[in-house]
Amino acid sequence: MAVEITLSGTVSEEMIIQNPEIVVSSTSLTGFAYVENNGPSAVQTVEVSGTDLNGSDVLVTASSDYEVSEDGTTFTEMVGLVTFDGTATTLYTRLKSGLSAGNYNGTLSITGGGIPTAVEVALSGAVTEELNPSIVVSSTSLTGFAYVENNG
């Protein structure tokens, strides 16, 4: 007589521990500058890549005095890297136009993709005062010009 034993169990997928990470090519961009009423500044770039991201959108937000772009042409305060898979992507940043003379410090803040805390790129720049050109002369009149005819 055979004895029957009932067995049960489940097969599950291999558990993969993921550590999502976003990496930037530089943690600070400095030297953004322009003369008042002549903005925006020249563009600077930073490369963003990642590993073990969960496939959700990654959001890049520039602080209020800066702008960011994914294509180097259309600049806004925020760019969404839709379903960012971690492939290296270049972001373009500039100090926005219309600012008064002064120093401007800010950040690019990168969130999403399953990373636990935002990755930040420090930004610093300055708008210098517009100079009003003027002419300075040492005297308002000059006298004593003379010569003998045909010898001048």
Query: What DSSP designation does 27 have?
Result: S
Residues in CB range of 18: below 8 A, 6 or more apart: 52, 54, 114
Mean pLDDT of 105-132: 94
**Residue 54 — φ and ψ, nearest 5°?**
-85, 10
Q: How would residue 9 be classed by pLDDT, with cut points 50, 70 and 90?
A: confident
Mean pLDDT of 16-23: 81
Q: What is the average pLDDT score of the chain? A: 89
Is a pLDDT exceeding 60 seen at residue 131?
yes
- Can you give the C-alpha Rg of the chain in angstroms? 31
Q: What gap in Å lies between CA 34 and CA 101, rounded to an integer?
A: 9
- pTM (2 decimals)? 0.75
Q: What is the pLDDT of residues 74-114, one digit of tens each?
A: 999 999 987 778 889 999 999 999 999 999 999 999 999 88
β pairing state of 119-128 and 28-35: parallel
Is a pLDDT exceeding 80 seen at residue 2?
no
β pairing state of 102-112 and 58-62: antiparallel
